[in-house]
Structure 1
Amino acid sequence: MKNKRYFQFIAFLIIAAFAVVGCSDKSSSKSGGTSSGEAASELTYASTSDAAGLSPIDTNDSVSSNVTGQIYETLFTQDPKTLEPEPLLAESYETPDDNTWVIKLREGITFHDGTPFNAEAVKYTFEQIKDPERAAPRASLLAPIESIEAKDEYTVVLKTKEPYGPMLAALSHTNAAIVSPEADKEGDIGKNPVGTGPFVFEEWVEGDHITLKRNEDYWREPAALEKVTFKVVPETSTAISMLETGEVQFIDALPSDQLPRIESIKSAEVQKSEGTRVSYLGFNMEKAPFNELEFRQAVAYGVDQEAYVAQLNGLGTYNESIIGPKVFGYNEEAKNEGYPFDQEKAKEMIKENGYSGQKVTLLAANRDNYMKMAEIVQSQLTEIGLSVEIETMEWATFLDTARKGNYEMTFLGWSNSTADGSELLYPNLHSDNIDSSNYSRYNNEAFDKLVQESRSTVDQEVRKEKLHEANIMAIKDAPWIVMEHGTVTAAYDKSVSGLVVDPTGKWSLYNVSRK
């Protein structure tokens, strides 16, 4: 009896020990967020701002595009190294004449809601982008297209008014992604997106996070990652701490002043490469005195961009050209065509033209790079005799305010997802796009004509010439003062592999895995 009780007691201790070990493992898994197996199939990206929306038709900002680029797909995509367009949802194309594009679509693809991807879906999406009532901010991408025909279930025919040189680049743009017609008609794809991409929308807790899950029915091999979280972390220093502790595994657009700290994180890799992005100080050309060339010239002479670039730890370059070195249409002659820093000349122009003491409000989104630009420019413009204040706004509110022209001077950037000069100058500075993507509201007939000519030919050498002429004209007119041409950056946990950030700053999580 005694031995029986002894063995029962020993058995009890063994069972209890296993129970404690089991509880301990479960507990430690929770403290780290996931078990090692789960962690390897999940990735969290930290963004300083929330998305403005999740419809590629109705948004035009990099924060939103980072998310929509995982959910939706375009007919063509750009090779991340060469930036050359190649088919994605399209299978092939031909151009029987300069104004006709016949695009054969891949068959057997469905949207996340189970409806078919076909020529009617492409026609619907493109017509929505072009619809003036919808007022898509990147309607300019498809502006040259005169008609869209679903020739058969998997063939789309695009007819243009005149030859359109950047067509394939435009059809590779994230804002030309194909949406589910059914989802767009019946619901709000800005809140509940439905595409064909490798990830499916799961939830959006505004101001906190957006969660996507793997598309198990993806038309290619399903992604390696099962879950992706876009976490809103307004403070960059907090995001870096989270990268260091493993709470997030990926951040990009690294702030220059934090670069030494990021590079010191032993568990992280850092990517840096020359990019297509241009950041600028823009004037509202419909308000006085910002619409006066003498005022803009005085400000241009008074802003020392090199002083700003010097603080970037190599994450930007000084160049007066609006079209940057990594963008089609760049000509090195343009790099010195702007107004060099000359504080005395700036002071003289301010005084001579009666601008002394002029009150100026610099509108800046609450993002580190724009805030830094605003602080430096405020100091420099105060030095030349202006009275300068800074107004800050949350990202989505800022975009809406700036688009409506409710500002005097502001800071913005253009990542140029197509790496094409026409798709930099046309959306940003052509008068067609006032009230959409032309935030400066610049209106110059001669400039418009040159930009249009750069778009309406398939002769690439002619396009380069027209872009160079238009670039010089805009530099001299100074609706923008170029602050810097950016370097593309990213930092990610060493468990992450397959991540490629192209020169436009775009990235896809489709080929990304964790070990």
Structure 2
Amino acid sequence: MTQMKKTRILTALILSATMGLTACGGGDSSKETSNKEKSSDGEKVLKTYFSDTPQTLNPHTTADNYELLLDMSATLYREVWDEETGAKTYVASLADGDPVCNDDEHKVWTIKVKDGYTFADGTEINAETVEYSIKMLNDPKLANRNVNATNFENGDAYLKGECDWEEVGFQAVDENTLEVTYAKNYEPESEKDVKDLFCFVGTALVKPELYESCLNEDKTECSYGSSLETFMASALYEPTSLIQGQYLELTRRTDGKAPLEDVFTPDKVEYQAITDANTIVQMFEKGELDAVVANQPAYDEYDGARYVYTIDNYGIYLNSETPTCTALKDVNLRYALYWGLDRETVVKAVYPTALPSAYMYVPFSTMPDPADKDNKTVVYHDTKEAKAIRMDGHEVTQEGYDPDLAKEYFDKAYQANGNQKITIQAIYADSSDVTKTWAEAIQSAYQDLFGEDKIAIELQATPSAIIYEEIARDKMNYDMCLSCGWGNTYDAPWNNTNWVYSGPYVYNTQYCVIADDNLAAQWDDLFYKCAMYDYRWDAQKKLEATAKMEEILYNDCSFIPAYSGGSRYFFSEKITPLMDEGDPELKFCLMQAKFN
């Protein structure tokens, strides 16, 4: 997706769930495992798991298992791990080289499609195949989930049925050439942005003849990918066995006509659908799985763990507009709660695999390096712009715990409240014992620090669906919410529409709040300068704006960051992942793992 789209939606609730380990995730071995040998015929077989088999193999409609589908359906570009640089990179998949910009406004781009690639049944792939796939992705009658036509000239009009496809800015000029004309304000900043859009699963190929046969009579529904018989692979792996709800097998193509043969390593991948965490670990220890997520306390002391952290920033929402706790209108109370949270102690006690952080933007956030924005990045929090941020005059750190400063702010708020006890109703998701433990830990931390005679955090278990309703910006019926957070665009931290109050990037339902109207207006001004106007092409200005936007969040303090979610991985001795710490999106790239 491009930076001009609404790319990251709010992750508002902490829900207890067992996550599947798709073939783009991993870590190192823990205790000894017998799963060291290849299969008897020398095949490199990767044995892994997920929570369920894909609901569909149609890239136009899928809502999950993106990386898994990309292993079967090819895109123009693919995001992979570069072992040499130790970073993510985009490589040409169906494309023949990098996209080429044809004008100074970055509006018109050319992408070449490489000769020689075919679907698994031998049907040729060319630029017209790509155009057909993008056209059907954006067909107004089908209303597919993963549409992307708004990026292209006249794309929005096409989705509304107001023009023909031939007027849309995505056309095959000949069998090897695509011309992409972007809509105003959607022009990509660089080649990287073009590749990012065309590595998204929604842009993956469908086989035209098969797709057409799967359309219903009025062409409003399509059954493509609903079974192995209604799907045709175009990438390196084809599905050779599927038992819904139980098992999926991918087999590497050997016809020499699939992209990325030199990138991915397994000959076969066996997925089992497993949801019980203990069963997963037991299978790993028996050598029946090559990688496992083991977050249970029983595995805290195992050797060889590797970690990956999510882009979500979990913490505490504070409602300064609540009529039931007027003390929260006082920013001094919000500051006290920010500085008074001992994240390292509280978070690790409840979520031992998480990454404690008081930063508004996750600790591993990056930005394009202003000195070479197309090829290099910088760690955002290491920049002088980020280091210059002050919260009411105080330096911010990842630890973010200063009990003495917290007490100073609390005393001010307490006095402003007429030296009366402050009572805060705190809602939390009733989805698991862990969310209750987290709520109780927050309650104890604040009451112990400020004194139970001066503050009371009253906990209220609440269904998750109700929490969504109560914390919505147009309702705001809560004092404090302990089961909440928001998703970061960690490689462009300014690009977060959760905090926007005006303009075209406002969601139908917003949750994040900036209490101060002036600060909210400043945020919007900086966001739109980065997204559409003054700073769009200027990496240095974007970096400066990013720091100002983060500083706004600190000084308004309607959200108290606490941690990013984390997962602990272990690996069999059969494989070695390419990285020591997983990437937030690519995890450990098991499809690129080395077979020992």
Give yes or no for TM over 0.5.
yes
Q: Distance in 1 between matches of 2:243 and 2:488?
A: 25
Sort the Cα spacing of 1:276 and 1:363 in 2 relative to 1 into closer, same or farther, 3 A. Answer: closer
Aligned to 2:284: 243
| From 321, 328, 333, the counterpart of 2:367 | 328
Aligned residue-pair number: 464
CA contact (8 A) 2:306 2:568 kept: yes
Sort the Cα spacing of 1:211 and 1:319 in 2 relative to 1 into closer, same or farther, 3 A. Answer: farther
Q: Distance in 2 between matches of 1:125 and 1:37?
A: 40
- 1:100-139 alignment runs, 5 A limit: 100=107, 101-111=109-119, 117-119=125-127, 122-123=130-131
Any idea what SS the aligned residue of 1:464 has?
helix
Residue by residue over 1:2-54, the C-alpha shift from the partner in whole angstroms, topping out at 9 and shown as x without a partner, is xxxxxxxxxxxxxxxxxxxxxxxxxxxxxx9x994279543333456887876
Any idea what SS the aligned residue of 1:482 has?
strand
Aligned to 2:259: 219
Sort the Cα spacing of 1:404 and 1:348 in 2 relative to 1 into closer, same or farther, 3 A. Answer: closer
Q: Distance in 2 between matches of 1:181 and 1:99?
A: 31
Q: Distance in 2 between matches of 1:55 and 1:400?
A: 30
Aligned to 2:105: 98
Q: Distance in 1 between matches of 2:224 and 2:321?
A: 36
Q: Distance in 2 between matches of 1:258 and 1:510?
A: 28
Sort the Cα spacing of 1:477 and 1:134 in 2 relative to 1 into closer, same or farther, 3 A. Answer: farther
Residue 175 of structure 2 is aligned to residue 150 of structure 1: no
Q: Distance in 2 between matches of 1:66 and 1:398?
A: 32
Q: Distance in 2 between matches of 1:117 and 1:364?
A: 51
Sort the Cα spacing of 1:502 and 1:171 in 2 relative to 1 into closer, same or farther, 3 A. Answer: farther
Any idea what SS the aligned residue of 1:83 has?
strand
Aligned to 1:511: 592
Sort the Cα spacing of 1:150 and 1:227 in 2 relative to 1 into closer, same or farther, 3 A. Answer: same
Offset of residue 167 of structure 1: 1.6
| From 458, 462, 470, the counterpart of 2:549 | 470
Residue by residue over 1:397-448, the C-alpha shift from the partner in whole angstroms, topping out at 9 and shown as x without a partner, is 99999999999743356475x733355x24x444656558966488945423
Residue 522 of structure 2 is aligned to residue 449 of structure 1: no
Q: Distance in 2 between matches of 1:84 and 1:69?
A: 16
The residue identity in structure 1 corresponding to 2:117 is: I
Residue 572 of structure 2 is aligned to residue 493 of structure 1: yes
Aligned to 2:372: none
Offset of residue 494 of structure 1: 0.7
CA contact (8 A) 1:45 1:231 kept: no
Q: Which runs of 5+ in 2 are unaligned?
A: 1-34, 155-168, 216-221, 369-379, 381-385
User: 158-167 vs 122-131, which deviates more?
Assistant: 122-131
Residue 492 of structure 2 is aligned to residue 420 of structure 1: yes
| From 329, 346, 361, the counterpart of 2:427 | 361
Offset of residue 76 of structure 1: 3.0
- 1:291-330 alignment runs, 5 A limit: 294=329, 298=334, 300=338, 303-311=341-349, 316-328=355-367, 330=380
| From 275, 282, 288, the counterpart of 1:233 | 275
User: 82-91 vs 122-131, which deviates more?
Assistant: 122-131
The residue identity in structure 1 corresponding to 2:266 is: A
The residue identity in structure 1 corresponding to 2:295 is: P
TM-score by length of 2: 0.60
User: 82-91 vs 310-319, which deviates more?
Assistant: 310-319
Aligned to 2:236: 198
Any idea what SS the aligned residue of 1:156 has?
strand
| From 550, 553, 561, the counterpart of 1:482 | 561
Sort the Cα spacing of 1:138 and 1:334 in 2 relative to 1 into closer, same or farther, 3 A. Answer: farther
TM-score by length of 1: 0.68
CA contact (8 A) 2:72 2:237 kept: yes
CA contact (8 A) 1:272 1:488 kept: yes
| From 38, 45, 50, the counterpart of 1:42 | 45
Greater RCO, 1 or 2 (C-alpha within 8 Å, sep 6+): 2
User: 97-106 vs 496-505, which deviates more?
Assistant: 496-505
Sort the Cα spacing of 1:145 and 1:449 in 2 relative to 1 into closer, same or farther, 3 A. Answer: farther
The residue identity in structure 1 corresponding to 2:313 is: S
Q: Distance in 2 between matches of 1:321 and 1:364?
A: 26
Query: RMSD over aligned Cα, in angstroms?
Result: 5.2
The residue identity in structure 2 corresponding to 1:321 is: M
Q: Which runs of 5+ in 1 are unaligned?
A: 1-31, 264-268
Sort the Cα spacing of 1:334 and 1:379 in 2 relative to 1 into closer, same or farther, 3 A. Answer: same
Sort the Cα spacing of 1:47 and 1:229 in 2 relative to 1 into closer, same or farther, 3 A. Answer: closer
CA contact (8 A) 1:70 1:198 kept: yes
Offset of residue 111 of structure 1: 4.8
Any idea what SS the aligned residue of 1:45 has?
strand
Q: Which has the higher helix share?
A: 1
